Homo-oligomer: A and B are copies of this chain.
Amino acid sequence: MLSVFSDEHFMKEAYKEALHAFEKNEIPVGAVVVCKNKIIARAHNQTETLNDVTAHAEMIAVTSASNYLGSKYLPECDLYITLEPCVMCAGALFWAQFRRVIYGAADIKRGFSNIEQRILHPKTEIVKGIMAAESEELMHRFFDKLRS
């Protein structure tokens, strides 16, 4: 059984957001922001819906979490994201100074770590691979659907 406060528990919530994106024909990526074991922001990719390349799940989640806390910086928050952040999002996570960034599937092509590991804030702990298989499978399902 999953402990309520485990990384797997919160990643499941991020995955639910990715499923929402999938249903809206958006590239299925989901995120939640957790502060003191509470989810304070949920978001999924909305680049198609909003016609905006900046509307990645992480960007919306950062704006939403800052709005909730009334704080630009989020050093007591953890971001769960089903896919490795791109360079833009990693840059945003740097500015927000997250305590931890936990991601699922690696993004071989556009993930920030292709460019440089040190884009994230030096104080931010990185955890990867949580529910990677499920998140990857959802991405494949999306692109298969797109091609069919």
> What is the interface of chain A, defined by CB distance below 8 A to chain B?
47-48, 51-55, 59, 62-63, 66-67, 70-73, 86-92, 94-96, 115-116, 118-119
Contact = CB atoms under 8 A, between A and B. Distances in A.
Question: Oligomeric state, in number of copies?
Answer: 2
Contacts of A72: 47-48, 51-53
24 contacts: A51-B70, A51-B71, A52-B62, A52-B63, A52-B66, A53-B62, A53-B66, A53-B92, A53-B96, A54-B54, A86-B95, A87-B88, A87-B91, A87-B94, A88-B88, A88-B90, A88-B91, A88-B92, A88-B94, A88-B95, A89-B91, A115-B115, A115-B116, A116-B116
A115 B62 CA distance: 22
A52 B73 contact: no
